[in-house]
Structure 1
Amino acid sequence: MGAQIYAYLMSEDARSQANFYIAALGGEIQFLATYGEAPGTPEAMKEKVMHLALTVAGTNTLMFADSLEPVSYNRSTSISIVYDDLAEATTAYANLSQGGESKYPFALQPWGAHYGEVIDKFGVTWMITKQ
């Protein structure tokens, strides 16, 4: 029996973050549930995202929830995305860089692949590779 691993991101604004990734990488929201769907949810929480599943860059899944406390990402965890097509990889790097910070320019590396690293405007580190 196999298993799958998905990145699950706690967010200060899951809807905005998901929509940014849809614009940057292509994709769509597959599922969205709010805390308001659970009985007894306080009014202030009802529109907050309890669970959001997003398909991006083909068939890859990212999941999100609105955090109940401040979110702080760090460099100990990154999302790595590998492309077959140089134009797609270059576009993804440029799109994810908008409003973010380029940590390592996307360029041909000595090992033969194109690689770059960016921290997007939400603080998530992306490692973009074209094999």
Structure 2
Amino acid sequence: MTAQLNAYIHSEEAREQAAFYAQALGGEILSTMTYGQTPGTPEEIKDKVMHMVLSVAGGNIIFLSDSFGPSQRGRFISLALSYKKEEEARQAFENLSKDGTVKFPLELQPWGAYYGEVEDKFGVNWQIVTS
């Protein structure tokens, strides 16, 4: 099984935090998706970052999104695994779900990838996605 592991940071200010990391570590924002890009989004959250991809320090990728409410330092980080094959993503999701809690089932998303979230039995949050 082959996968890429990325940090996923949930922030009160994702854009500001990404700009800081890009400057501090040398890098650039590769893409930004806001909640306003999805159908039926309430007006008050349309500008919030749903998903941002940041390349830093020679190509290392960090994902960021805006949180809803105050962040608790050290508690708003998820580990994101990106798989090329749906079967591998499903296997990892099932394995991590054992004795854990499925937060969002692994399902096909409007942007064309499979995505799901699980908190493992140790309390670590994982996001599983196909690329």
TM-score band w.r.t. shorter chain: 0.5 to 0.7
Q: Matched residues in 1 for 2:39 and 2:68: separation?
A: 17
In structure 2, runs of 5+ residues without a counterpart are: 78-131
Q: Matched residues in 2 for 1:2 and 1:30: separation?
A: 23
SS at match of 1:73: coil
**1:1-36 deviation line (CA, Å, top 9, x unaligned):** 411110000000100000000110110111100000
> Larger radius of gyration, structure 1 or 2?
1
CA shift at 1:72, angstroms?
Answer: 1.1
CA shift at 1:38, angstroms?
Answer: 0.8
Residue equivalent to 2:59? 59
Residue equivalent to 2:4? 4
Deviating runs (4+, > 2 A) in structure 1?
none
Task: Please tell me the residue identity of whatever aligns with 2:45.
Answer: M
Aligned: 1:25 with 2:1: no
Q: Matched residues in 2 for 1:5 and 1:73: separation?
A: 21
RMSD: 1.5
How many residue pairs get aligned? The number is: 76
Aligned counterparts, 1:1-131, within 5 A: 1-74=1-74
Residue equivalent to 1:107? none
In structure 1, runs of 5+ residues without a counterpart are: 78-131
Percentage identity across aligned positions?
54
Q: Matched residues in 2 for 1:34 and 1:12: separation?
A: 14
Q: TM-score, normalised by structure 1?
A: 0.55
